[in-house]
Structures are given as C-alpha cells and as structure tokens.
Amino acid sequence: MAGRTWIRTIVLALLVAAVSLALDMKLADILTDGSLRQLLMLTACNVLVAVSLNVINGMAGQFSIGHAGFIGLGAYTAAVVASQLHVKLGSHAPTLAASFIVVPIALLAAAVVAGAFGFLLGLPSLRLKGDYLAIVTLGFAEIFRLLIATATVGVQDTPAQAWSAVRGPGTFFHALGVSITALGGQNGYAGPGDQGVPLYAGPFWILTIVTLMVVLAWRIKFSGWGRALRALREDEIASAAVGVDPTRYKVTSFVLAAVGAGVAGGLLAMMRDGTPSVQPDTFNFQASFDAITMVILGGSGSVTGAMLGGVFVTLSIKAIEYGQGSSFVQDLRRHAEWLDLNALRMILYSALLIALMILRPEGLLGERELFQKKRGAKAS
Amino acid sequence: MKLIDALMTGLAQGGMIALVALGYTMVFGVLKMINFAHSEVFMMAAYVGLFVIAAVGGTAHPLLAAVGGTVVAMFACSLLGITIERIAYRPIRARTRGSKLARVTPLVTALAVSVLLQNLAQLLFTARYRPYPQLFQNTRPIIFVVAIAMMVFLELVVKKTWFGKAMRALSTNEEAARLMGVRTSRTIAMTFALGSSLAAVGAVLYCLDQSQAYPTMGFKIGTQAFVAAVLGGIGNIPGAMLGGLLIGIIGEMVKLTSYSGGVDVLVFVVLILVLLARPAGLLGTTRVEKV
C-alpha cells in the first residue's frame, strides 16, 4: 500500500509540473488578454497568502494582522536578488531556462529574510499570553512600509560605497539607511538603474510552488504537528502539561507563516505580466486585512477554506478595480465625489466579518475541508 | 533651553497620548480584549469637534468653540462607544464565552469595526485632510492642564464612585462581581462611554495643536497610545498615564537628535523591549494562572 501511495504522489507531482510547464509556454496563446493572465497568477499568489496566514491564524489560533509586512519583505528581497542576478546573467530578456537559476535563489532569499523577521517578532510576542502578537505584527508591517516609503538617507551615495565605509555603529546605520533609500522610496523599487524588476516567474513557477506550499500546509494540518497546534489552541495549559512546548510550536508555525508570505511576495514581485516594480503601498494595512478576510471567510483552520477565501477576495478586488475604472462609475463620481467603491467594499467586508463573527465565528467551512480524506476524518 | 522646551512639548503630547491610552487600558481591564476600534473613535471625535467648532464660529469665539467642540465630541463618542459595544462586542461575548474561538473572535470583530469606521469616514468626509482653525496662540499648556485635569477626574471616578468600584471589581473577577450584584453589562457599556469620551478630549486637543483631521489619523496615535498602555501595564490605569507621558517625552527627545524621523520606529522598539524584559509593564503585576 505504502509503495502505491508513493507512486501516486510522484505521478501527481509530475502531472502538476507538466501542466504548469505547458501553461508556461502556451498561456499567452490561450489567454491573449494580458490582464486575465495576470489575474490567474495573482489569484494563485493570494491563495498562498491565505494558506500561509491560515497556519498561524487558523491552525495555531494566534492572531497576526501584519501579514502584508512579510509579503512586502519577500517581495523586496526577491526583487533585489532577481535584479542583481539578472545583471550578472547579462541582462537578456527573461527566459524559462534562466528562470531555473534566478527564481529558486530569489525565492530562497525571500523565504529566509521573511522567516528571520518572523522569528525576531514571534519570539517576544508569542512567549506571552494575550494578544501581543496582533499589535506587534501590526506595528511591524506599518514600520516596514513607512521606512521604505520615507527613507531619504544619502540619496547620492550607493549602498556599496556606504557599506565599505562602515567603521562603527554610526556609519553602520548610515549604510543601512542608504540601502533602504536605494529601494526607491514612495516610487517603488524597479531594479538597478530603474530598468524594471525582471519578471522571471511564469505560470510554471507560480503554479508549482503554490501547489507545493498548499500541500505542505495540508500535511502540517493532518500531522502530529498539526494536532499539537490544535491542542494548544484548545487549551494551552493542558497541552503544556502533556509535553507540548507552547512557545516552540507557536513560534515555529509563525515562522512558517512568514516564510509562506515571503515566498508569495517574491512570486508577486517577479510575476510575468505583472508590473516590473515593487511599491511600498501595496503592503499597507488593507492588504493585511484582506488576507485576514480570506482566512476567516473560508473558515479558520481549513486549508481549502483559505484557498476559497483567497480566490473570492482576489476576484472581488479585481472586479472593484475594473468597476472603478469603468466609464459608468466615472460618470457617477462626477456627480457624487464621495463615491469610493473601494471604501464601500471595505465597509461591506468588515460588516460581513462582524456578522460572521456573531453568527458563525468559525467561518464558512469551519475547520472542515472540501475534500475530506478518509484518514483525515479520523484525525480531526 | 531647547531641552526644557522639548520636555514641555513632550509632557503635553504625552498627556494627550495618555488620554487615549486610558481607553485601551480600561476596556482591556474589563473585557480582556484590545479594542482596535478605539483609534477610530478618536478619529471620529476629531471630525465631530471640527464640525462643531466650525458651526460655533471658530476663531470668533475661540474659548466657546473649543469647549463646545470638546463637549459635543465627548458626548457623540460616548454614544459611538456604547453603540459599538452593543452591536458588535456584546453578542460575541454572549456567544463565545468559554468556546475555543473566544480569543480570536473578539479580535477579528474589533479589527472589522475599526476598518468599518475608517472607511465610513472616508465615504462621509472623503480622504481629504481638513485643517483645524488656529484657536489659541499657545496650545501646549492648555493641552497639558486639560489632560492632567481629566486624569485627576478619572482617578476620582475610579476610586470614589460606585461605578469605579464596579469597574475594578469586574476587571478583577467578572463572575464574582456578577454574583456580588454588579450589573456587568451596564458597567461595561459605561466603561466604553468613559474611555471613548476621554479619547474625544484627546482628539480635539490633538487637532487644536497639530491641526488636521483625516480618516486614517487614528492609526498613528492609536499605536502610540497602545504602546503606552502596554508600557505602563495594560489594564492598569495609573500605568497608562505614566506610559503615555513617557512615550510623549521620549518622542520629543528623539526629535532633538538627528534621527527625528525615527519616532514611530522607536515606539515600536520600546514595545518589543517591554515585551521581552517586563511583559506586565512598569506598574503591572503578573498573575499566575491556576488550572
């Protein structure tokens, strides 16, 4: 039996790889509209955002409200690494072959940076009871965004010069400031010399990596680790008494969530058909709130629920964006200046969340999955 | 001289932050939840104050306008606070008592209320920055005096009145307080009203000094006030006052150095350091959890 499941897993993995490889080459012919291709990949990335946030908010029962900060960290890291590699490779137009060098390295860097910051934030705040994680992640995400958007240290210097001049703490902070300023401030980062971030991640990378991470999240949920997280969420003292170390489990799952967000950010930054720059304002509080909405709507703790939430929220955001640009709404706005569809969407979402919390706090699916495994039914 | 000047400004700023921090800490005391909507109550108060000041005639009658604006804002925000509690938090309290989602649900709700109010303000008042009229020449001493007066008033309410006693009882042990005849729902509603009206005073003072009102203004001051509450020991009323004053002074001191842009970062660093070194805050006490 065991051998059979192994074969099935390998066949499935090959199938996913083959399909996404085929899409990578042929998608431009199937979907001639670039914005539709973008929508498809954006949805996949947001599914990863939702699934990763679900690990900490749903499974571990902690509450992070600064997920956009980790997405942003990943996006900036991947954009910088990919741009540097792109120059090293000779600045040719991105090819699928070259992407096998660039994308893994850039995503690895994004994951490591996001994970490291996750560890730094999670350790002090998850050690405690209460909702400190919420406020710490909120503060972190905003400070990350504001630092990048407003940094103006030594605009003339290049980071390389500043770092080679480091002699002590003062010059160190100066070099750090110069590096952050080099990320482009409010206008966003568009590679060295503003040539644009190379967009290496086509459907192949996005689909395989998102699938891989979703499978990983699924495996976590139905593993001993997932059960330990669930036990912690239900009763921390009782699970600590039977040997589940609360801090260790909570911090590791928070780091995992941050890594997932970092990878999602990296994919977003390098997404083919996307914009070739990374803007700080993409990672504002509204982005974090959207991520929370995805998780809660679908059902806290449910992997497929988070995926559904991700698809729904992404589609509705894009629909609103489309509607906001349409001539009908533009006409309406000329008469009613206050009509801001996005603000209206946020009001509807938050009202929906409040109602959901009152009527069905566990979300639409609760902890159930759409396709419950036979073994999973026993486990949960 | 520059140092003393900064200290005065810091005290005024700190007094105002403390007024907002008190709202966080009181609600945390009775409900054990972070009321994220508090910063949005602050923002709404700024708008109410602005409209009343404009209606009264603004610079023509500065004192009347300032007092009128503050009082109406306090009243409106008490109503807003009670409404938020009644519509969003009370049903959840009744439903999730003892359930496994008892921790996450109030947080999501509070966050959703906050986003709702912020976007409502965006629809109602547009995202435009609205300047406050310059009512007084020198607002700093006024802010400081009013803030201290409000804190003394609060201290009297908490220590000397029946309501204050009920509130303290509720924050120590809700079940026991209920059994001793404290009407918990009414006390919670009154706590929200009191906290919101303090935030309203803070908001009008803030705008008289920094003179702008906009829908996302609650975020910055809300974060600072929350850090102040944690620094002093969340749930602890004198702690919130101390924390607010400290944050205000630290902020002004930083502005004297060449890293003046780093205030927000520093506030956040303070939060992390407090969590690492003394999570109960300066004046807080740790309670051992018994099974």
The 10s digit of each residue's pLDDT in B272-283 is 888 878 878 888
How much is the pLDDT for B260? 64
Residue located via tokens 């206050």: A338
pLDDT band per the 50, 70, 90 thresholds, residue B97: low
Contact A132 B279 (CB under 8 A): yes
Of A50 and B124, more confident: A50
Would you state the pLDDT for residue B107?
A: 85
* B268 in a structural domain: yes
CATH number at residue B202: 1.10.3470
- Number of structural domains chain B divides into: 1
Q: Looking at the domain assignment, is residue B290 inside a domain?
A: no
Rounded to whole angstroms, the Cα distance separating A314 from A306 reads 12
| CB distance B196 to B22 below 8 Å | no
> What pLDDT is stored for residue A378 in this prediction?
43
Cα separation, A138 vs A129, in Å, equals 17
CA–CA gap between residue B143 and residue B15 (Å, rounded): 7
CB atoms closer than 10 angstroms to residue A11: 10
Predicted pLDDT at A365: 78
Phi, psi of A371 (to 5 degrees): -115, 90
Predicted complex ipTM: 0.84
Q: Which residue of B has its CA nearest to A151?
A: B261
Q: CA of A59 to nearest chain B CA: how many angstroms apart? A: 11
What's the domain range around B246? 2-277
Return d(Cα A199, Cα B189) in angstroms, integer.
54
Q: Angle at Cα A316 formed by Cα A34 and Cα A364, nearest 5°?
A: 135
Structural domain contains residue B66: yes
Size of interface A-B (CB pairs under 8 A): 129
As a whole-number percent, the residues of chain B with pLDDT over 70 amount to 93
Instruction: Specify if B179 maps to a domain.
Output: yes
The phi and psi torsions of A170 (rounded to 5 degrees) equal -60, -50
Q: Is residue B61 part of a domain?
A: yes
Sign of CA dihedral A54, A55, A60, A64: negative
Contact: B91, A358; criterion CB under 8 Å: yes
Residue at B152 is within a domain:
yes
* Share above pLDDT 90 across residues of chain B, in percent, rounded to a whole number: 29
Q: Mean pLDDT score of chain B, rounded to an integer?
A: 86
Mutate to test the interface with B, among A126, A132, A135 (most CBs of B within 10 A): A135
Q: Is B220 part of a structural domain of the chain?
A: yes
Give one DSSP letter per residue of A211-252, joined into a string.
Answer: HHHHHHHHHHHTSHHHHHHHHHHH-HHHHHHTT--HHHHHHH
The average pLDDT across B208-222 equals 84
Residue B191 tokens, joined: 């706590």
Could A61 and B100 be called an inter-chain contact, meaning their C-beta atoms sit closer than 8 Å?
yes
- The two three-digit tokens of residue A77, written as one number: 């890291």
The minimal CB distance from B223 to the residues A65, A125, A139 is found for A139
When pLDDT is cut at 50, 70 and 90, the band that residue B268 belongs to is: confident
- Is residue B282 in some structural domain? no
Nearest-Cα residue of chain A relative to residue B127? A338
A363 and A356 in contact (C-beta within 8 Å)? yes
Instruction: Report the helix count and the strand count for chain A, using DSSP H and E.
Output: 16, 0
Q: Do A354 and B88 touch (CB under 8 A)?
A: yes
Residues from chain A that touch B268, judged by Cβ atoms under 8 A, are 139-140, 143
Res B4 pLDDT > 50: yes
- Say how far apart CA A209 and CA A13 lie, in whole Å: 11
Q: What is the pLDDT along chain A (380 residues), one digit of tens a residue?
A: 456 788 888 888 888 888 888 888 877 777 777 788 888 899 999 999 999 999 998 888 888 888 999 999 999 999 999 998 998 888 788 888 888 888 999 999 999 999 999 999 888 888 877 678 888 888 888 888 888 887 777 666 777 777 777 777 777 777 888 888 888 878 888 877 778 888 888 888 999 999 999 999 999 998 988 999 888 888 888 888 998 898 899 999 999 999 999 999 999 999 888 888 898 988 988 899 999 999 988 888 889 999 999 999 999 888 888 887 777 777 777 777 667 788 888 898 899 889 888 888 777 777 788 776 555 444 44
Q: Hey, are the CB atoms on A135 and B91 less than 8 Å from each other?
A: no
pTM for the structure as a whole: 0.87
